[in-house]
Amino acid sequence: QVRLVESGGGSVTAGGSLILSCAASGFTYGSYCMGWFRQAPGKEREGVATIDPDGSTRYPDSVKGRFTISQDNAKNTLYLQMNSLKPEDTAMYYCAADPPIRGRCIPGRPFGYWGQGTQVTVSS
């Protein structure tokens, strides 16, 4: 049974940094497509970073250069380093996982497994 548990959220002032962690279990970590998503009140959920089993990463322009996704396969843990945080980064952040399709993580394909989320609040 896949289980994802996020931690590390909190409140920071603009320009600050946070590191989110996602402890994963129930599957062979390192073999799945992994991602971080966020959802602010009244807005649609959006992807902020994904990482493939081969280490390839993707970011939207809104966070590129400020956020870094990484993973430690030995610890079964996914990370999101967030720097230069802005008030518009305020949202619930979710970790997600999905098995690759024929060894590929297809951009835009919905993730099947989700954590409960961790709140990030950035004040100006």
Quick: pLDDT tens for 49-68: 999 999 999 999 999 999 99
38 vs 120: CA distance, rounded Å? 9
The ranges of the chain with pLDDT < 50 are none
CA 65 to chain centre: 15
pLDDT at 102: 86
Decide if 118 contacts 7 (C-beta within 8 A): yes
d(CA 42, CA 32): 30
* Positive or negative torsion for Cα 18, 24, 28, 34: negative
Q: What is the pLDDT of residue 20?
A: 98
Residue 59 has what pLDDT?
97
